[in-house]
Chain A
Amino acid sequence: MSTATTSSLSHGTATSLPPARKPRPVAEFLSTYVFSKDHKVIGLQFLFSTLLWFLIGGLLALAVRWQVAWPWSDVPVLGKLFAQQGGQMAPEFYTMLFTMHASVMIFLVIIPILAGAFGNFLIPLMIGADDMAFPTLNMLSYWFMWPAFACFGASFFVEGGAASGGWTSYPTLSTNPASSPSSGMGQTLWLLGLTFVGVSSMLGSVNYMTTIILMRAPGMTMFRLPMTIWGMFITAILQAFALPVLTAAGFMQLADRMFGTGFFSPEGNVVNNAIAGAGGGQPLLWQHLFWFYSHPAVYIMILPAMGMVSDILTVFARKPLFGYRPMVYSVAGIAGLGFIVWGHHMFMSGMNPALGITFMVSTMMIALPSAVKTFNWLGTLWGGKIEFTTSMLFALSFVSMFIIGGLSGIFMAATPVDIFIHDTYFIVAHFHYVLFAGTAMGVWAAIYFWFPKMFGRTMNEFWGKAHFFLTFIFLNGTFFTMHILGAVGFPRRLADAYHYETFHHLQPLNAFMTWCAIGMVSCQIIFAINFFWSMFFGPVAGRNPWNANTLEWTAPSPPGHGNFDFQPVVYRGPYEYSVPGVEKDHLMQTDPPNAAAAAAAAASH
Chain B
Amino acid sequence: MSRLSGIFWSLLFLAVPVLGVATFAVAPAYDIWLPKDVSEHGPAIDGLFMFILVLTGVVFIVTEMLLFWFIWKYDASQVKGPATYIHGSHVLEVVWTIIPAATLLFLAIYQMNTWADVKMRRPAMAPTVEVVARQFEWRLRYPGRDGVLGTRDDLFLTNDLHVPVDEDVLIQLKSMDVLHSFFLPNLRIKQDAVPGMKIPVWFKAKETGQFDIVCAELCGWGHYKMKGRITVESRADFDRWLEETYARQEATQPAPEDVAASAAE
Residues of A at the B interface (CB closer than 8 Å) are 90-92, 94-95, 164-166, 170-173, 176, 179-181, 265-272, 276, 279, 282-284, 317-326, 348-350, 353-354, 356-357, 360-361, 364-365, 367-368, 371-372, 374-376, 378-379, 381-388, 393, 396-397, 399-400, 403-404, 407-408, 410-411, 414-417, 419-420, 422-424, 469, 472, 476, 480-481, 483-485, 487-489, 491-497, 499-502, 505-506, 509, 575, 577-580, 585, 600-601, 604-605
Contacts and interface: CB of A to CB of B under 8 A. Distances in A.
B218 A400 contact: no
B126 interface: no
Contact of B56 (A165, A387, A410, A496): A410
Contact of A384 (B59, B84, B87, B101): B84
Contacts of B220: 92, 95, 173, 179-180
B240 interface: no
A605 B84 contact: no
A492 B63 CA distance: 30
Given A368-B104, A410-B56, A419-B45, A354 B221 contact: no
Given A323-B92, A505-B31, 7 more contacts: A95-B220, A170-B218, A180-B220, A283-B194, A372-B93, A410-B104, A420-B49
Given A283-B195, A354-B120, A383-B83, A375 B96 contact: yes
A386 to B, nearest CB: 5
A578 B74 CA distance: 14
A574 to B, nearest CB: 12
Contacts of B199: 350
Interface of B: 5-6, 9, 12-13, 16, 19-20, 23-24, 27, 31-35, 44-45, 48-49, 52-53, 55-56, 59-60, 63-64, 66-67, 70-71, 74-76, 79, 82-89, 92-93, 96-97, 100-101, 104-105, 107-108, 111-112, 114-116, 118-120, 135, 176-179, 181, 183, 185-186, 188-197, 199, 211-212, 214-225, 227
Nearest to A480: B23
Nearest to B33: A487
Nearest to B117: A416
Nearest to B119: A353
A273 to B, nearest CB: 9
A173 B219 contact: yes
A354 B120 CA distance: 8
Contacts of B12: 469, 472
A298 to B, nearest CB: 19
A172 B179 CA distance: 7
B221 A181 contact: yes
A410 to B, nearest CB: 6
Given A353-B115, A419-B189, A268 B196 contact: yes
A263 B84 CA distance: 60
B223 A493 contact: yes
B87 to A, nearest CB: 5
B178 A176 contact: yes
A491 B194 contact: no
B150 to A, nearest CB: 15
Listed residue (A94, A350, A368, A484) with the most chain B CB atoms within 10 angstroms of its CB: A350
Given A322-B87, A356-B119, A416-B114, A92 B71 contact: no
A500 B100 contact: no
Given A378-B67, A423-B216, A271 B86 contact: no
A282 to B, nearest CB: 7
A385 B215 CA distance: 53
Given A396-B13, A411-B56, A368 B195 contact: no
Contacts of A403: 59-60, 63-64, 67
Contacts of A321: 87
A477 B142 CA distance: 47
Nearest to B20: A480
Contacts of A472: 12
Nearest to A270: B176
A271 B178 contact: yes
Contact of B221 (A92, A411, A415): A92
30 contacts: A91-B225, A165-B218, A180-B221, A270-B176, A271-B177, A322-B89, A323-B92, A326-B97, A353-B115, A356-B115, A360-B112, A368-B101, A375-B96, A379-B92, A382-B84, A386-B79, A396-B67, A404-B16, A404-B60, A411-B49, A415-B111, A416-B115, A420-B188, A476-B19, A487-B32, A488-B35, A491-B183, A499-B225, A502-B186, A604-B86
A492 B221 CA distance: 13
A95 B221 contact: yes
A267 B195 CA distance: 9
A381 B74 contact: yes
Nearest to A605: B87
A416 B45 contact: yes
Contact of A400 (B16, B115, B227): B16
Given A365-B104, A494-B223, A407 B32 contact: no
Nearest to B178: A173
A165 B219 CA distance: 8
Given A414-B52, A416-B45, A577-B83, A361 B108 contact: yes
B9 A360 contact: no
A501 B35 CA distance: 10
Given A172-B177, A356-B119, A414-B52, A364 B63 contact: no
A381 B64 contact: no
